[in-house]
Amino acid sequence: MSIILTGGAGFIGSHLCARFTKGRERVLVLDNLSRGKEEYLFSQSDQNYLFFQKIDVANAPLVASVVKEFHQKYPVDIVWHMAANSDIQAGIKQPSVDLNDTFMTTFSILEAIRPLGIKKFTFASSDAIYGDHGPKLKLTEKTGPLLPISCYGAMKLASEALLSASAESFLDHVWIFRFPNVVGTPATHGVIFDFINKLRRTPDRLEVLGDGTQKKLYIHIDELLEAMDFIVSNSNEKMNIFNIGPDDSGCAVTQIAQAAVEIVSPSATIVYGTEPRGWVGDIPKFLYSVDKLSSLGWGSKSSSIEAVRKAIVEISGQGSEKV
Amino acid sequence: MSIILTGGAGFIGSHLCARFTKGRERVLVLDNLSRGKEEYLFSQSDQNYLFFQKIDVANAPLVASVVKEFHQKYPVDIVWHMAANSDIQAGIKQPSVDLNDTFMTTFSILEAIRPLGIKKFTFASSDAIYGDHGPKLKLTEKTGPLLPISCYGAMKLASEALLSASAESFLDHVWIFRFPNVVGTPATHGVIFDFINKLRRTPDRLEVLGDGTQKKLYIHIDELLEAMDFIVSNSNEKMNIFNIGPDDSGCAVTQIAQAAVEIVSPSATIVYGTEPRGWVGDIPKFLYSVDKLSSLGWGSKSSSIEAVRKAIVEISGQGSEKV
């Protein structure tokens, strides 16, 4: 049985793609290459198992026809839906970005598979669906109310809602992964990427947005892949929703800045802003429960700061055209 | 200050419109007349305060231009967003119905007001956002996970999510009303409307979808208007989310069928199906907390069955072209 992988040329998607094709699973990758790159796919994957289509996944009629044609040749068992906008601030400035790339992609791929009898679906959701519950409440999969403060979080929650309705009407199993920040290469954005870029431009000075007290959870891409694989193999409800992350309270921007300076440009001075929140849609601190995933039997080996340090080393070593 | 009222020609919207215009508040009604009717507006409203535009509220560029023009003449203070698909089963068969009418209407009106500095927003949400939590858990505004089982519920939740993100970036106050079933005239659909129609066609027999054990909450439109008005006047947080309903455990389909027969066609025999659930997306039984609204100081005077009986009398008396 084959796999449909949306966003397969992006950061997380290209790692998934490599894993699938190495396991000799046939994969149809759909990606608009807005952030993803063809080279991410073709540098690492077994070409015999990789089928790539450059396409806007939000284009429902086109996606329906491409998916149908592929499914007729190579029957598809499961969709891995990773396509989304990944620039939260872009979506806050222009909500149509997340409407199209984060939500309409979900609507479109669901409409494409509905008539074909493809009944398994995995989805990359986010801790951004919870909103700001303050630094004391530990966010579990049952926490409510869900009050996302970014369009990105809102459109991830909208996608979850549509998947829930689809599970009632035509899907057999849905796996929803609520990711924290995911780090590693190939990086195209994010705080580590930004800090390394800034240090390349001004090796003596690192300017930090906000006062550096913002604290977030980080997981390395290698561990994220392990966790997703474990969840799909070991949970079998109609709706399987899991927070994924390390079992710690995250790492502060100050720690990331210090690690970046130490690894990339040890002589740099760090200059902080004064606001506890870096931008609209950013949540300064939160606690995240991974107890459900622990109970299922999986735990992260690295802490947030360990994941970050590993990623700084990797990203600072990645091809100069990307950093 | 003026009001924008989407879906103002529909069941709930036309009642709101009448109330606003009677209070000499200027209202711009936007409605595509898919279920709403112009006569609902023009039969009861003070024409000097009513501005009506037949428009698909999901058409973002058109809505933006109409709203901007109106706002320049008559500055708008608040949006009452009632436009939505109201046929849950239609949306399950064809998800694009709820995508367009229930969600894109929200996206579109938000995009229209964002550049104009209109900062208050009320929204007709639904108990359908919760999904099926079984007959024992009392659903509060904090209940999670939110797992809607209809596209209607999913797109109401998607709208709530977008409103939450918009409250973070540009709105001052959002009031979200989670409605139960709302009954009264002018009725265009729903269980009471269907039963009366069936009894008109076959006065000796009432066929009921499902086994009749489904139990739901019902509120009469007059009490709903009171509740919404009370909430907007008495709550002032950034996000104000309230379940609205009677403080009871609802009324069963058997009770509605018996009341309809008694009032409309006393000699009819009632014939039930065998399934506890009437259709995909229907939740057989649930408990709904209105404690938050009670604490604010408002309680419904009628029980679910009282609201239903009142509506049966009204609907069976409404113009024959509608029943």
State which residues of chain A have pLDDT below 70: 44-45, 277-281, 319-323
Nearest to B144 among A143, A153, A165 (CB): A143
- Amino acid code (one letter) for A181: N
Partners of B96 on chain A (C-beta within 8 Å) are 111
Per-residue model confidence as pLDDT tens digits over A11-48: 999 999 999 999 999 999 999 998 888 888 877 667 88
Distance from CA of A288 to the nearest CA of B (A): 15
pLDDT at A37: 87
| Cβ of residue B168 closer than 8 Å to a chain A Cβ | yes
Q: Cα dihedral sign for A181, A187, A192, A198?
A: negative
Contact A155 B164 (CB under 8 A): no
Nearest to B144 among A96, A144, A153 (CB): A144
| Cβ of residue B4 closer than 8 Å to a chain A Cβ | no
**Single pTM value for the model:** 0.95
| Cβ of residue B144 closer than 8 Å to a chain A Cβ | yes
How many CB pairs below 8 A link A and B?
113
Nearest to A158 among B145, B161, B168 (CB): B161
CA distance B12 to A316: 59
Quick one: closest CA in A to B89, which residue? A169
pLDDT at B280: 63
Mean model confidence pLDDT for chain B: 93
Per-residue model confidence as pLDDT tens digits over A225-267: 999 999 999 999 999 999 999 999 999 999 999 999 999 999 9
ipTM higher than the 0.85 cut:
yes
pLDDT at B233: 98
Partners of B280 on chain A (C-beta within 8 Å) are 168-169
pLDDT at B134: 86
> Is-contact A41 A14, C-beta < 8 A?
yes
Contact A165 B149 (CB under 8 A): yes
Contact B165 A143 (CB under 8 A): no
pLDDT at B322: 45
Per-residue model confidence as pLDDT tens digits over B74-83: 999 999 999 9
Name the residue among B230, B6, B253, B258 with its Cα closest to residue B112.
B6
Mean pLDDT by 10 residues, chain B (323 residues): 96 94 94 88 80 97 98 98 91 92 98 98 97 91 95 97 96 97 89 94 93 91 98 98 96 96 96 75 81 98 97 84 44
| Cβ of residue B112 closer than 8 Å to a chain A Cβ | no
| Cβ of residue B225 closer than 8 Å to a chain A Cβ | no
CA distance B2 to B285: 40
Domains identified in chain B and CATH numbers: 2-182+219-243 (3.40.50.720), 184-217+248-288+301-317 (3.90.25.10)
Contacting residues for B23 by C-beta, under 8 A, at least 6 apart: none
Nearest to A168 among B99, B239, B280 (CB): B280
Nearest to A168 among B96, B155, B281 (CB): B281
pLDDT at A278: 61
Nearest to B165 among A110, A143, A149 (CB): A149
Contact A161 B168 (CB under 8 A): no
CA distance A199 to A315: 13
- What are the two backbone dihedrals, phi and then psi, of residue A68, each rounded to the nearest 5 degrees? -60, -45
pLDDT at A322: 45
| Cβ of residue B281 closer than 8 Å to a chain A Cβ | yes
| Cβ of residue B64 closer than 8 Å to a chain A Cβ | no
> Is-contact A284 A276, C-beta < 8 A?
yes
Contact B157 A155 (CB under 8 A): no
CA distance A139 to B144: 11
Quick one: closest CA in B to A111, which residue? B95
